[in-house]
A and B are shown apart, each in its own frame.
Chain A
Amino acid sequence: SQQGEEDPQALSIQEGENATMNCSYKTSINNLQWYRQNSGRGLVHLILIRSNEREKHSGRLRVTLDTSKKSSSLLITASRAADTASYFCATDANAGGTSYGKLTFGQGTILTVHP
């Protein structure tokens, strides 16, 4: 089964609306990270939330983490056409307190923001 599953797979909204993407995972984690990828490009790190944190903000981004439900959400407020991209969550698994440094990526959400 897949660590870091996301929903929805695709999201289409109008400029100015908020976009919410969800991520679920299966194992214990050190932290969870969100990345953005424009088509055919590399990934851009958006935000990292540690396992002992519940919410984090960065500009128009708000990330929540519920370790009891093993889930996270990414909210983009007041979306812009330039936010159109794929968004991935990635988990840094915790194995007995040791971070092996490997990230496991979710399947991603394709966000389209219409002007």
Chain B
Amino acid sequence: GAVVSQHPSWVICKSGTSVKIECRSLDFQATTMFWYRQFPKQSLMLMATSNEGSKATYEQGVEKDKFLINHASLTLSTLTVTSAHPEDSSFYICSARVYRLAGDNEQFFGPGTRLTVL
């Protein structure tokens, strides 16, 4: 159980185009999903928290107009990188929060999407 998928697994696009990445929880409902970015040989940096039915909460320094997040259902969150530039090239990973016991916050991660902007 608790499987999270991402699509696509990799994408190459031209500078100036927009790219949409999907994150799905396959066997559970996730009211909260998270989007992370990871540069080579670095750790994960949280970009935003995606809440079903409401606006995403962005971390400081993350442009909400550039990284559009839509959490339209309990099993799907999407991240759209608008007007992508080479510096947006990165590994984007989503996670979904699973409550097991009160106070716990276990997250299950998708396999990631490698974005390369030419």
A binds B: yes
Interface of A is mostly: strand
The listed residue (A33, A41, A92, A105) touching B43 by CB distance below 8 A is A105
Q: Is A103 interfacial (CB-CB < 8 Å)?
A: yes
- Contact A40 B44, beta carbon cutoff 8 Å: no
The CA-CA distance from A16 to B73 in the complex, in Å, is: 46
When distances are taken between beta carbons in the complex, the residues of chain A under 8 Å from B46 are 102-104
Interface string of B43-66 (1 = CB under 8 A from A): 111100100000000000000000
- Contact B93 A106, beta carbon cutoff 8 Å: no
In the complex, the number of residue pairs spanning A and B with C-beta atoms less than 8 Å apart equals: 60
Q: Is A107 interfacial (CB-CB < 8 Å)?
A: yes
The CA-CA distance from A103 to B106 in the complex, in Å, is: 9
The chain B residue sitting closest to A9, CB to CB, is B41
A30, A42, A105: which has the most chain B beta carbons within 10 Å? A42
Chain B nearest CB from A70 CB (Å) reads: 18
- Contact B112 A88, beta carbon cutoff 8 Å: no
Interface string of A87-108 (1 = CB under 8 A from B): 0100010000001011111111
- Contact B103 A99, beta carbon cutoff 8 Å: yes
Q: Is A13 interfacial (CB-CB < 8 Å)?
A: no
Interface string of B12-56 (1 = CB under 8 A from A): 000000000000000000001010000000111110010000000
Q: Is A43 interfacial (CB-CB < 8 Å)?
A: yes
Q: Is A56 interfacial (CB-CB < 8 Å)?
A: no
- Contact A106 B34, beta carbon cutoff 8 Å: no
- Contact B112 A40, beta carbon cutoff 8 Å: yes
When distances are taken between beta carbons in the complex, the residues of chain B under 8 Å from A48 are 104, 106
